[in-house]
Amino acid sequence: MDTDFGLMRDAGFSLIRVGESVWSTWEPRDGEFELEWLAPVLDAAHAHDIAVVLGTPTYAVPSWLMVKHPEIAAESRTGVRVPWGARQETDTSHPVFRRYAERIIRAVVARYAGHPAVVGFQVDNEPGNVLPHNEHVFAGFKAWLLTRYKDVGAINDAWNLTHWAHRLDDIDELWRPDGNHVPQYDLAWRRYQAELTTDYIGWQTALVKEYASPDQAVFTCIDVARPAVDDRALGQVIDIVAANQYHATQDELGPGADGGHEFPPSGSWAPFFVADRTAAIRPGERFMVTETNATSVGFPWFNHPAYDGQWRQVAWAMIARGARAIEYWHWHTMHGSWESYWGGILPHSFRPGRVYEQVAQLGREIRTAGGAVEGIVPDAGVALVYSMPTRWAFEFHPPLQDPAADPRKQGGPDRAAYERIVYRWYGGLSRAGHQIRLLHADDLGAGLPPVVVAPALYLATDEQRETLREYAAGGGHLVLGTRSLYADEIGRPRLDRQPAGLADAAGAWYDEFSNLLAPIPVTGELTGRATGLIEGLTADGADVVAGYDHPHFGRWAAVTTREYGAGRVTYVGTIPDLELATALGGWLAPANPWPVGGAVTAHGATNGAGERLWFVHNFGFEPHTVVAPMPVADVLTGAPVDRLELGPWDVRIVRETTP
Amino acid sequence: MDTDFGLMRDAGFSLIRVGESVWSTWEPRDGEFELEWLAPVLDAAHAHDIAVVLGTPTYAVPSWLMVKHPEIAAESRTGVRVPWGARQETDTSHPVFRRYAERIIRAVVARYAGHPAVVGFQVDNEPGNVLPHNEHVFAGFKAWLLTRYKDVGAINDAWNLTHWAHRLDDIDELWRPDGNHVPQYDLAWRRYQAELTTDYIGWQTALVKEYASPDQAVFTCIDVARPAVDDRALGQVIDIVAANQYHATQDELGPGADGGHEFPPSGSWAPFFVADRTAAIRPGERFMVTETNATSVGFPWFNHPAYDGQWRQVAWAMIARGARAIEYWHWHTMHGSWESYWGGILPHSFRPGRVYEQVAQLGREIRTAGGAVEGIVPDAGVALVYSMPTRWAFEFHPPLQDPAADPRKQGGPDRAAYERIVYRWYGGLSRAGHQIRLLHADDLGAGLPPVVVAPALYLATDEQRETLREYAAGGGHLVLGTRSLYADEIGRPRLDRQPAGLADAAGAWYDEFSNLLAPIPVTGELTGRATGLIEGLTADGADVVAGYDHPHFGRWAAVTTREYGAGRVTYVGTIPDLELATALGGWLAPANPWPVGGAVTAHGATNGAGERLWFVHNFGFEPHTVVAPMPVADVLTGAPVDRLELGPWDVRIVRETTP
Amino acid sequence: MDTDFGLMRDAGFSLIRVGESVWSTWEPRDGEFELEWLAPVLDAAHAHDIAVVLGTPTYAVPSWLMVKHPEIAAESRTGVRVPWGARQETDTSHPVFRRYAERIIRAVVARYAGHPAVVGFQVDNEPGNVLPHNEHVFAGFKAWLLTRYKDVGAINDAWNLTHWAHRLDDIDELWRPDGNHVPQYDLAWRRYQAELTTDYIGWQTALVKEYASPDQAVFTCIDVARPAVDDRALGQVIDIVAANQYHATQDELGPGADGGHEFPPSGSWAPFFVADRTAAIRPGERFMVTETNATSVGFPWFNHPAYDGQWRQVAWAMIARGARAIEYWHWHTMHGSWESYWGGILPHSFRPGRVYEQVAQLGREIRTAGGAVEGIVPDAGVALVYSMPTRWAFEFHPPLQDPAADPRKQGGPDRAAYERIVYRWYGGLSRAGHQIRLLHADDLGAGLPPVVVAPALYLATDEQRETLREYAAGGGHLVLGTRSLYADEIGRPRLDRQPAGLADAAGAWYDEFSNLLAPIPVTGELTGRATGLIEGLTADGADVVAGYDHPHFGRWAAVTTREYGAGRVTYVGTIPDLELATALGGWLAPANPWPVGGAVTAHGATNGAGERLWFVHNFGFEPHTVVAPMPVADVLTGAPVDRLELGPWDVRIVRETTP
């Protein structure tokens, strides 16, 4: 223990996380608690000046409880229990689970809340991993529906249940989600499931707060990709925002990486994206990264330890975007368990090596930078609107086909279409030098930046649409991407010409769209390729910025723009490839005073002292010399610099100075 | 309603289909009927001079019935019910279902049979979507077997059940279909299931006819791809033939499209194929197309609205092949339901646009053509033999591997092999200019055209084989494709050298065959490539027309031909690629007096007045000028034309005139 | 029968196998036996001087037994029975099955053991096809665990069950294998299942031996790929080694074939590999090939009859590696059953043709060679270590990703990684001219050849590691491939730097490794490409033989070598492609006195008379002339030969002579 804590301290660690997922160690038999084993760990942490976040153990349920109460297993389909043998097999809304969970939480937290090392509590871990279909969950769903619709007649009308004889005469005639084919039903089911998860975390948080002091934060670590999570809603019931955010490494962290958003996200914009995605949970607040890449991430067959320098690059990127703590998962690679190749900072041999040295260098830099990188408020010239309901709707009924399928045949759906489109836009804007504020559609309102992009805001409420209209009318530049505004908040296609309700402001409309067998060239003021689909966009007052080179699709506009009130509405009727998305980014607005492009990026921020900072990266092996566009000094050395020398996979942090 | 019917009438609509799939609207609660809502619709249709086909609603069962009688759900595997939430979840042979279905059918049909707008009835919709494994269905299967085999000993012998100890001592020892590995069992199971579907539709038809007047037709709309359908048999129990036939669009409707037969079928021959496939249900009769492409077809991620002109092209193609009505699915795109992106003639905005205009132009043309295109009998120089039992046998034990699998390894089966082979032959013959009559093997007999092609008639009865022999002996040109005649009618490989029973007539035989890792060049009088497999075809009296360029396979013939009696037998020992199939088409017989080829096709027919018509298409963007090979006049303008100017994706209809 | 036996005798057959898998013929009703049908078959065989192996019929259970005792069906997952309808659906450790199996075995064997044609018995067939999850099997597993660990506390510690709260307080809290995620659990489960299969075959063997005479051998035919088989252990409970070994054909039997090990294995080394794999079951003993390719192998969609000559090539290859009998599966292709396209020596028409002629030629050659090819002991310059526990461990947690997955994303596991790596090494060594002795890790000991290669010996006991160390210290050349020695015998990663416990002897170590998105060039003394993964191998006393051409990976060694004691340890830190594996083979040691390479191979052996034999193959269409490097005479003609003329797909057998 001394060796471990000594190594941590030497590397600059100031915070660790303990105690989660070991319920069977805390309570080896029903009602018999063994709580003392952690005390020496906390004592040693405290002695090394390392603070501790204590986890509740509910992520993984002990065998004895599953044996005694098999009914608490989540049913992945009605009547089909998730088999025991991993973790998160549980229906966390089940009263029996809640009773046992409450007892162990109270026991552990009561025992250690007063320990001086404990600065906070993490309740559960990455909640929302499964959509339980258990009987009481479905019963709750029916009741939930009746709180939202006055009666089944209203459901019949809202969901258009005449078709295929789905009309209900009584809520107990509602079919199970297992065979459901109605998109509005599915969306309601997803909303309900997310609410269950929020309720669960809210319940644990409140429970722990009975013991926590006011300066001990209570939170969970969010995985925004979990199926039963609405991370924005979840963020409202915890003290501070914390998320687990992994990223691609090696060449996949380069500016030409096109691996997309799937785990782990690729491209030089990946660490910025995952940070901005976390920041969006509670806009304007800083956040913790509770897990990120130590050595390898993922299953035993997927090992890609970062290149030298990439740990620094990623950490400074996250800090630049508002991270106030970065934790690695995990300290050392484990010698058993499913995660035995999810690589820690120490390898299986426990010997500090390349990874430890890389992390220790980062630790030294952060200590050196000190207050200069505290209280950071990231720059944001563009807001990118994110819509969780659209993600859910597109998981059920996406507008794109499985990329692995033959595009000439019906094939299967691309359930990742929404994330794919959003990530493409983020990548293009980022490559164009923009700094992006991700914003949940429900957070649209005042204080928006000069440009707001809604990449595929398929589901939008009337209020959201009007907010966007007013934003443009008031001087903003609103950019709508394909499928935006098509449906109302429960997923019904609207009856207006598209983009529904803003076709007038856009000065363009469409009534049909086509998927593409292959990308099609886009020509005009912007170039690149149209991918996935093309809408039959007809300018009706707008200027045409770009079109298609095609005997049929050529009649339609790819990009239109129109002044609207004091602002502007631009519509993009296809999914841009990375080239076109980057070109769009450059066309929208000047993005960055630095000579960015290719491997070089620059991200600005203001620190707590009101100073202007820039984080300048080189995402490649080839060194670059970057001429600073204003007087700056190196944050780590304090020395003024005119030309930043960036080595392979390097990052420099500079502060603007007065000439 | 007035707007809708006005639009329909203006576009030339004369027929609509209503009332199907809305059982829960007709009968919202068990035994409580609400029948009046349709009356104003029928009145309005009548007022607009639009005839109506009234559907029975049994395709989709109401929730209350599924809740009350869950046992009527079809079991997709023994004991595994199809979950409720789409449609066609039902075991339609279940007595409980039949009792409720009869009651609602009688109620609806009795109420409206006398309405003057109603010209016919559609019972159910695309039946045969599932193979129910329910207890009583399996019991029926055992009884069915005993009507076909005198006892289990006969089954043991016929199915070769000694192997793997499958011999039965009692029919109740028969294993369930779930784990069955015996091909003869599977084929019997498929035949039984198809009979259940035919019985079901026959039962509904008889029921409705108790109310229908003699001039009201009763039928169902057939989807020939349904697993539990023998469309030819089903066609015997309804008044008129009607099928739902979709097709590829955009570039996939071109002559070079090689997307194959899978939904939606590709190539310029696709609309002809689907029409000819429908015409084969009851040879010599005209038919209805009860559904075809309006805007997009398929799931929400598959949208390919046709290019301008393609609606006309497809409709005139279908008319040329005997369609007497064409209905689009559906009038407007729905705003809910699984099919919310199965695009209608009107888009989600209800505003008539490009699609409506295209359909309306077609409507005007049909009105103009009038009687000139009534009573059409299509030309047919080649008969292509279709074998439903072979399709079923190849779905279980195909001779080809899944095209997506590594051909060097065992991989999985290509369950679509039969359709793939047939469609390839159809495409090649069509590209060579032939007009093709699809013919079920059970309809082989007198009146065959000069050439009969059996692409892969794996299962053939002794009678069918002798009919083919007599056809050749009597002067016909019989072309046998790979695997033809290999097995008897229950799927047992025959004991003769192959092609079993006709090797003498063919003057060629084989005893082994090989799948191919990659296509192999075919050389000789015909060129192209061998795909999928090669049979070890040895000429023994026949002439070799083409062979293989290969150090091993080169010893065998690819194509042999031999005079037989007054006719000829040709054998093709491989699956031709499109090039070779086209070359074969050209070699077989002169096909077409018109200068067809590439994008240009010409299809001839005789109308009810005995006039000769030609439908000349240009399946491409590039315009073509086609010189008529005989004096003709334009059917729409009446003007004589020497040179037909065909624009992009165009079609002209001309009538032969005396010079 | 006379025709069949006449054909067999004419083709040189001396042995057939009968009676397996026909339980329902032997016992059509419970307790009613029909045993006499086989007598005339055995009599006829005897009359034709053909010996018979009599099979027990337990591979396939009759319907009546499954109907009466459905509980004997194996459960593929807990509670999910393998459906009846193929064979091997049974839980062979079930007492009810054992009771019925014993009765039929006793009846059949007692009846025929004394027949003069019967020279041996095959019990069951390819056992171990399923991992039964039945209740009593799982109960047995828990008991089995407690015989290996003193209590659940020891299991908690050994399996690291603290993680994810998996700690057990009682063995009855053990979760089912269905959802298990703990690799050590899975490995124990696999070992237990393999023991059940060994126990089953041992039980049948003992039963049959009650009736067999001492000169009648009792054995089973092993399929080494079955999931529940440890073929080495299974080999201990039977009289002689016998295995079913299929191989690729046509071009896939060539030296450039890279189809890998999956069924059927590809490359000119395939027949040698499958023979050597069989020989490894009981080192030093000759073996039977109880099944190999007759015409086609595999499912109906996979037919690749060999080219002329390939039957001879494969059979002589197997004989060269110690086969004392070769049986073809099967005599004629069947006319029903799942295997109706698993092609026999006679085709469906029963007419002897090309395949029969090829086999008959082989029969003539073997008769001619006579004693010259008896008692063969194959040469072996290199031992290749095979580890069944590693295979099991890698099936659960492989170090490579599914080759079909996007390498940039986590994707799924390559469950065949172990076989893929071993087969790659075997291919490279073989292409370099080596003759290879496959050796189970448990057979490591004295008498090893000059080179021992452990391609990926992930799991190794301390004893095995020390044996390898002593081998090198004593003068051997030990070659360790990637991942070797990483984990202990229950699959825990070791705490030492890797290769654990031999890093000192290797003079090289690593602590991290990376999967590869694409192959990377290897440069230095050896060239080729690194595939799959690269370990961060650091020379620490060793010489670097080859490295990587890469800006990051270039810092590490690809191949290191170091003198150790009287011998040498070489470490290869990646998975070599075929080129690099071949280069490694050439670098290790001079392999072969013959001018082998490309299509030409030469394999040496010593026959029972102490003579030196060489089997020289040409695996291609192009003829080759091979100059013998020593005086030799043709075994079939007796004539001395200087230059061997090898036609397409040819083989010559020569004997060394004194000049």
Stretch 34-63 of chain A: residues touching chain C, C-beta under 8 Å: 57, 59-63
As given in the structure block, the two tokens for residue A70 are: 């098999």
Say if A3 is an interface residue toward chain B (CB within 8 Å). Answer: no
pLDDT reading at B27 higher than 80 = yes
Peptide bond into A94 cis (omega under 30): no
Handedness of CA C588, C592, C595, C601 (dihedral sign): negative
Q: Which CATH number applies to B600-656?
A: 2.60.40.1180
Regarding beta strands B528-535 and B513-515, do their DSSP bridges make them parallel or antiparallel, or are they unpaired? antiparallel
CB atoms within 10 A of CB B96: 14
A168-184 pLDDT, tens digit per residue, is 999 999 999 999 999 99
pLDDT reported for residue B245 = 95
Partners for A (CB, 8 Å, 3+ pairs)?
Answer: B, C
Sheet holding C323-326, edge to edge: C241-244, C287-291, C323-326
Strands C451-454 and C477-480, how do they pair? parallel
At A223-254, the pLDDT tens digits run: 999 999 999 999 999 999 999 999 999 999 99
Question: What is the C-alpha separation between B525 and B544, in angstroms, rounded?
Answer: 9
pLDDT (0 to 100) of residue A590: 81
For residue B545, how many other CB atoms are within 10 A of its CB?
A: 20
Q: Is the pLDDT of residue B659 over 80?
A: no
Interface test with B, best of A408, A498, A510 (most B CBs within 10 A): A408
What residues contact C73, with CB distance under 8 A and at least 6 apart?
A: C66, C81, C82, C83, C84, C89, C90, C91
| Preceding omega of B648 cis (within 30 degrees of 0) | no
Strand partners of residue C478: C452, C569
CA distance B430 to B167: 48
Cα within 13 Å of Cα(A270), Cβ side? 30
pLDDT (tens digit per residue) in B460-497: 999 999 999 999 999 999 999 999 999 999 999 999 99
Interaxial angle between packed helices A354-369 and A310-320, expressed in degrees from 0 to 180 and rounded to the nearest 10: 40
Tell me how far CA of residue B440 lies from CA of B198, B280, B331, B437, in angstroms. 17, 7, 33, 10
3-state secondary structure of B522: strand
Closest by CA to A301, choosing from C395, C529, C554, is C395
Out of C62, C335, C341, the one facing B165 most closely (by C-beta) is C62
Domain ranges of chain A: 2-131+203-371, 382-588, 600-656
Residue A246 to residue A232: CA distance in whole angstroms = 19
What confidence tier does A258 reach under pLDDT thresholds 50, 70, 90?
confident
Q: Which amino acid is at C453?
A: V
Q: What's the rounded Cα separation, in Å, for the pair A84 and A455?
A: 40
- Return d(Cα B152, Cα B395) in angstroms, integer: 26
Q: Is C192 in contact with C229 (CB distance < 8 Å)?
A: no
Do the beta carbons of residue B207 and residue B106 sit within 8 Å?
A: yes
DSSP class of A500 = T
pLDDT band at A501 (very low <50, low <70, confident <90, very high): very high
Selected residues 436-495 of chain A with any CB under 8 Å from a CB in chain B: 492-495
pTM tops 0.95 = yes
> Could you tell me the end-to-end alpha-carbon distance of chain A, in angstroms, rounded to an integer?
51
Asked if residue A4 has pLDDT above 80, the reply is: yes
Residues B60 and A165 sit within 8 Å (Cβ to Cβ)? yes
pLDDT at A86: 95
Backbone phi, psi, residue B567, to 5°: -125, -140
* pLDDT more than 90, % of chain A: 98
Give per-residue pLDDT as tens, B243-290.
999 999 999 999 999 889 999 999 999 999 999 999 999 999 999 999
Sheet holding A15-18, edge to edge: A15-18, A51-55, A118-122, A217-219
Cβ-defined contact of C266 to B408 (cutoff 8 Å): yes
User: What is the C-alpha separation between B118 and B17, in angstroms, rounded?
Assistant: 10
The answer on pLDDT for A574 being more than 90 is yes
Query: Domain B2-375 has what CATH class?
Result: alpha beta
Helix (H) or strand (E) segment spanning residue A473: helix A462-473
Q: How many CB atoms lie within 10 A of CB C2?
A: 9
Distance of CA B7 to the CA centre of its chain: 32
pLDDT in tens, C17-59: 999 999 999 999 999 999 999 999 999 999 999 999 999 999 9
Q: What is the DSSP string of C221-249?
A: -B-TT-TT--HHHHGGGSSSEEEE-----
CB contact under 8 A, B336 and A492: yes
B528 and B577 Cβ atoms separated by less than 8 Å: yes
Closest C-chain CA to B398? C301
What residue ranges of chain C have pLDDT lower than 50?
none
- Please give the class, per CATH, of domain A2-131+203-371: alpha beta
Dihedrals φ, ψ of C70, to 5°?
-60, -20
Contact B312, B274 (CB under 8 A): no
Count of residues in chain A = 659
Instruction: Report d(CA C653, CA C612) in Å as an integer.
Output: 11
User: For residue B643, what pLDDT band results from cuts at 50, 70 and 90?
Assistant: very high
DSSP characters over B638-651 = --EEEEEEE-TTEE
> Partners for B (CB, 8 Å, 3+ pairs)?
A, C
Interchain CB distance below 8 Å, B175 and C85: yes
Residue B507: CB atoms within 10 A of its CB come to: 20
What was the pLDDT predicted at A441?
98
Contact call for residues C534 and C522 (beta carbons, < 8 A):
no
Chain centroid to Cα C222, Å, comes to 9
Residue A12 has pLDDT above 80, yes or no: yes
Q: Cβ distance C242 to C288 under 8 Å?
A: yes
* Chain C contact probe: residue of B77, B152, B421, B512 with most C CBs at under 10 A: B512
Quick check: ipTM above 0.90?
yes
Look at the domain C382-588 and name its fold. Rossmann fold (3.40.50)
* Residues of chain C positioned with their CB less than 8 A from the CB of A24: 161-162, 165-169
B533–C298: do the CB atoms touch at under 8 Å?
no
- Which tokens hold the place of A148? 């939202």
> For residues A633 and A641, is the Cβ–Cβ distance under 8 A?
yes
Q: How far apart are CA B423 and CA B224, in angstroms?
A: 14
Structure tokens at B143: 């009884």
Could you give the CA distance from residue C178 to residue A383 in angstroms, rounded to a whole number?
46
Helical pair B39-47 and B2-10, crossing angle rounded to 10 deg = 40
* Contact between B349 and A399 using a beta-carbon 8 Å cutoff: no
pLDDT of the residue at B267: 97
| Six-digit token string for A30 | 């029903």
d(CA C188, CA C489): 10
